[in-house]
Every structure is written in structure tokens, then in C-alpha cells.
Amino acid sequence: MNLTYQEQTPVEAPGRKLVGRVVLGLLVLAAALLGATAGLLLVYSTDLPQVDDLEHYRPSSITELYDNHGRIIGSFALQRRVVAAYDDYPQVLREALISTEDKDFFRHSGVNVWRIIGAAYRDIESGGRVQGASTLTMQLARNLFLSPDRSFHRKIQETLLAIQIERRFTKAQIFTLYANQIFLGHGVYGFESASEFYFSKPAKKLTLDQAALLAGLPKAPQYYSPLLHPDRALKRRNLVINAMLEDGKITAEQATDAKAKPVQLNVQHDPNSLAPYFVEEIRRYLENKYGSDQVHEGGLRVYTSLDMDLQKAANQAVLNGIAAYERRHGWKNHLQHVLSGDMTLERYDDPDWEDEPEVNSYIHALVTSVAPGSATVRFGRYHATLTKQDAAWTQKKIQDILKRGDVCYVKVLSLNAGATARVSLEQDSGAQGALVAIDNAGGEIKAMVGGRDFNESKFNRATQALRQVGSSFKPYVYTAVIDQGGSPDDTILDAPITFQSGSTPYTPHNYDEKFEGTISLRRALAQSRNIPTLRLADRIGIKTVIDYARRFGVTSNLPAYLPVALGAAEITLLEQTSAYSVFPNDGVRLTPRYITKVTDYEGRVLEEDFPDVKDVISSRTARVMTSMLQEVVQHGTAASAASLKLPLAGKTGTTNDFTDAWFIGFSPNLTCGVWIGYDEKKTLGAKESGAHAALPMWIDFMKFALAGKDPGSFQAPPIVPPSPSALKVDTPDAAPAGDEVR
């Protein structure tokens, strides 16, 4: 029997085979995922910024401008930020922010994995992109180094950077960097700056409800803006308070009290709005010298000559003076109407509304409704009702001059609770005004107004506008005469005359169409007589007069023809005002100064400015001219200024057809110049002379500037007898014509 043996192979169980394959597959998948992750991390980490640089990081800072008392009057910045230290942020703000943005901030190592997974799952489920779930450290990494684009690529880089940041810095350092960097709406960056902007106080003084309001802003600063959307801001603030309560940071009683408070803001006024024309002059100078980046990001400290109190007085004097002029000439119905196309009342926003209004300020307001005898207007968040009394000067019915959708001009008389206000109707027909005030002793510019509204026109009428100066040019003629040995008691003939100006006969006349005969030089200047001035200029030569004007610092073009003696030349207000400061300075001219010192962020002095002094005329001439210009105020064309009962001197100026009105005057300590007119050089109207249109603004300003201060006194002029060859002219000549005015 043949027997065959066959070895039996054991049969593997089907279940075990499947498990092995699954395990193998999982291992392969894990290896692939690990490799892919490593590859992705390698790719995403190759171009990551170096977080070591944060040790020397200083965020872009505001360049601040200070007045002569150290008060902030302006700033330049790409990002409005005040850099603060960890201890500058109160515990209530730190806890509010952590409860809202990152509850585990002090426990995690930069990344909250479970929050990221949960957020990613929700976004994938909804078809959206990865967003949310960022820790404070991740937000810091994004704000410092990455774009705001929401993508997986950015999220991975954000995570890697956050881990690196946590390894190199303490939690306090990370919080401080975050708190200084984050955007909080309206151009404000960082919580210190936000506290000053929204509440006008440092972060250290924040209350619970205020801290919660700020802590709610990082999520969506514009959406939750308490200025634009106070209802949303209130709800968001209360959510933050609830989060703090849940985390045990506050008691139920504290939470209830805080949530019961309304959103109350004390918005910081834009410091640039106080002296915008002055600040703009500073900006141009700084950018030209230090470059735009240094000015807007370098945190310079600029100490200027301006006096905030005098600037406020200057602003008010000019605006009130223009308003008085507008009222004198009646309602002209120059109103913009905005209800056209797709514009609605709710959507309209005026540049004037960017800053909080102040009492006695002038602002454009939107007419929202009109009824018989009244109209409702809105400006920013304020509403007001114009009554018949508020528009009485127009001598018209409100419903006849205003309609819904008009933009009118009003003066703010009071700001009341509930965002209500009381206003009066004013007019903006295009008239402009300017003012410059200069300290005599140092040449520092103490106040500057370059126009009615910087938002509407950046053109500086104090430094850029060349306007005919009228009779305010006459002191140069008399200075030349006195400096060459003349006396204020010398006489000159005020009688008809014809001059030969080039090849053309020139027959001038006086403002009042009258002639006084033989008069002293003192009276001729005080009464602003045209013909005596021309006789003097003709006698000494117009080129000599121009040479004296040049000595005083006038650099504008002065053509060598006789009518220049009456102010037919165009000069800037700053030039003319600075020139007049020579008289109270005993014949010495100091170049006008804007800046006294500039330092960098670390306090190193970059520049210091000292007075540039030049001798112009003798002290004898300066004192005699000062006494003659005092006569203008005491008994001449500027006699209304005598009501101040102070040592004052100056000269009015009016041009042909009343296109420009001037007054340049001074006390022993301060020189101030004022101009009013239209940009297009049209008439201000009959009788709108320097004494009538410009001098009242000067009086208002000087009344404030000299109040409660020692006004000083002018140096007594030497006794100057009439010169041996008196400038008397005995022969009347020709009939009056022409129209030069004073």
C-alpha cells in the first residue's frame, strides 16, 4: 500500500488578516500625514519672521507737538498710538480682555488646540475659512508679522509664530505687546490711546464699564464702535461683563451696576483741530528735514512756539468777526443741497463732524425737517431746533430760506444732555479771515489762523496769500522819512496834486474826498491821508521806501512805482505782522519762529532754534514811529481800539473797492495782524474798511491776550524838533481823482 503524506498548512482567521491590513494602512497613513505635516511645517516656517526682533521692537509711535506750556496741540501718525507699559494697564482691563479674548491666556503655550479644532470643524462644516479661536499670542503674531487674510496657510504660520513668541517672552511682555498693537477703531491703536480717545483719560483710571467697552472692541472695532453704533457697543460691553462674571473676576453686584450704566463717552478732541494751519506748517517743515517716515512713525517730540490759550482766542475772534461781517450783508442763500442721486439724510456725513463740537464753535449742519417758524438740524450725533429768534438777523421766515436736505452754517450756543444742542443760524458766503500773533521779545508765533475752515480749504491765508496791504504799508514811508532826520511835527501839504508815474499822469485822492491843507506828519499818518504819504514817497524816492520795507523783512515783490506807497503791493500777513514787531522792539527784527526744540523718541535733541536777530532801524526812529502809530489808535482811524485802555499802536489798511481789510497792531509785548476778504479778490462791500471789518477781530483777540497781564510800556520817544528843512509843500496842484482808500 502506497501511503502519501501531505503537510497541512494552518488556515489564518479572516478577522486577524483584516486587522493587520488596517493597522498597516493606519501606520502608512500616519507616516504620510506625519511626513506631509513635517513638509508643510518646513514650507511654512522657511519664510517666517524672526521673533527675536521683538526684543528690540518698538511700534510706530505718534509724533506729538506741544505748545509753549507743554500741552499737546497736534500730532502726526500713520497709527494713533501711545505706547504704555504693563503696569499702565489696570487689572480690570487685563481681566476684561482675557475673559473675552483668551480665557486660558496664562495657562496655554501660545495655542489653544481644542479651540482651533472646534473652530475649524465649524468652518469646514459651513464651508467657510478657518477663523476665530486665536489666542492673544496668535493675534499678536498676526498683527505684527502677517496679513489679515484668512487662510489655512496664514493660520499655520500664526500658530508657529505664537509658539516661538511664548518660548521667548513672558506673559506680561506678550500682553503688553498685544495691548500696544491692537487696532481699536477710528485710527486708534492700543488701549492707552483708546482710553484717551474715547474717555479723555489714561487707561489707569478706567472704570469697570469703560474697561469692558474697550475690551469688546478688538473683535470688530468699526462694527462695535461706540461713536458709530452705541447700541451695538452697549450689547458687546455687557457680554464682556458677563464673561468676567462667569470667570469669577467680578461679583454679581459689580456686574449689575456696570451693565446698568449707559455708554458715556468723553471723546478727545483732535488736537490738530485747534491750530490746523499752524500744524500744517510744522508738518511741511519736519517732512522736508526729517522725512515722512520719521515724522509719521518715529515718535518725535516737537516743542513749538504756539500758546494754546491765545490760539483759542484767535480762532474765536476770527470766526466771530467773519460772522458779524456776514450778518451785516444779509442772507445770500448760499446753501448746499445734498438730497440728490442716492444720498439720504441718514447717509450724509460732513467733514466738520469728525471732531466733537464745542460751545461757540461754528459748524455745518444738515436740515432734517422744516416747519412753519422752525427747522430741525443735525450735526454729528447732535440735534437742534432753529427758531425764528435764531434766524432773526436774516429778516426772513425760516421756511422760506431752509428746506429739508440743505446744509446750513450754525453757531453752537450750548451742548445739552441727550445729544441735543442750541444753535443760531449763521452764513458762509465764502468770506475768509486770517490772524497771526507774534511775541515781540522772541519772535515766536503764538497764534495763527489761516482761514475760516481747514476742512474746506487747506490754503493758509496767513502765510501763502499775497494780498494788497492798503494803507498798512504807509509806516514804511514815514519810517524812511523819520530815519533820515525827519520829525513827526514836520508839515506836509494835503492838497490836490498830479504825479507823473512813468509816462502816465497819476492823480490820487483821499478816502474822504477832502483836503486838510498843511498838516503834521503825525496827523497825516494817524488819519491815513493818501496825498501827504505820496508827496513824502515822491520826495525821498519810492526805491528808498522799498529798501526800508526790505529791511523790515518784506520779501514779496514790490514794483518801483509810486502807488506802492499806498499799499498797491501784495504781501503776506505773516510778513507784514513780523515787520511791525520791529517798532516795539526798538528797531530790531526777530525772524518769526514756529519751533523751539525737536527731540527723538528717546529724548535726544535733534535741533534747537534760537532767535535770529537783525538791526533794522535806529532805536530813535523805532520809538518815534511807535508814538506816531499810537496816535492812530488814540485819535486816528483805529480809535475804537482805545477802548481797551492799554498801550497800543498800529495801522489800518483798506484796498481799492474794499477787497481787502487789514489791521496790524502791537502792544509792548505782542504784535498781531488781521486780514479779512474773499479768496477771489471781490469786494467786501461798501465801507468795509480795515477799521470796520478787521479791527474788531484784532480788538477781541488783544482783549483776551492782554487780560490780567502786565501790558508793559513803550519806550518814550526822544524829543525831535521839526527838521530845518521841513517837508512843507506850499503849492496846491491839480484836481483830485482816483480811488485809493485807507
Chain position carrying cell 476684561: 96
Pairwise CA distance, residues 638 & 649, whole Å: 9
The answer to whether residues 438 and 670 touch, using CB atoms and an 8 Å cutoff, is yes
Would you list the DSSP string of 406-419?
EEEEEEEEEEEGGG
Give strand pairing partners of 662: 653, 675
Pairwise CA distance, residues 182 & 140, whole Å: 8
Pairwise CA distance, residues 96 & 333, whole Å: 53
63-66/301-304 β-pairing: parallel
Would you list the DSSP string of 523-554?
HHHHTT-HHHHHHHHHHH-HHHHHHHHHHTT-
Task: Return the closest-CA partner of residue 93 out of 202, 169, 183, 181.
Answer: 202
Catalytically annotated residues: 101, 471
The answer to whether residues 40 and 48 touch, using CB atoms and an 8 Å cutoff, is no
The answer to whether residues 511 and 538 touch, using CB atoms and an 8 Å cutoff, is no
Q: For residue 208, what is the enclosing H or E element?
A: helix 208-215
Report the interhelical angle of 619-635 vs 474-483 (nearest 10°).
Answer: 140
Q: Per-residue b/e over 507-537, b at no fewer than 16 CB within 10 Å?
A: bbbbbeeebbeebbbbbbbbbbbbbbbbbbb
Pairwise CA distance, residues 157 & 51, whole Å: 12
Q: Per-residue b/e over 554-568, b at no fewer than 16 CB within 10 Å?
A: beeebeeebbbbbbb
**Which ranges in 330-464 belong to alpha helices (H)?**
398-401
Q: Per-residue b/e over 614-649, b at no fewer than 16 CB within 10 Å?
A: eebbeeebbbbbbbbbbbbbeebbbeebeebebbbb
Phi, psi of 206 (to 5 degrees): -70, 140
Task: Return the closest-CA partner of residue 681 out of 651, 652, 653, 656.
Answer: 656
Those residues whose C-beta lies under 8 Å from the C-beta of residue 625, and which sit 6 or more positions away, are: 475, 478, 479, 482, 583, 617
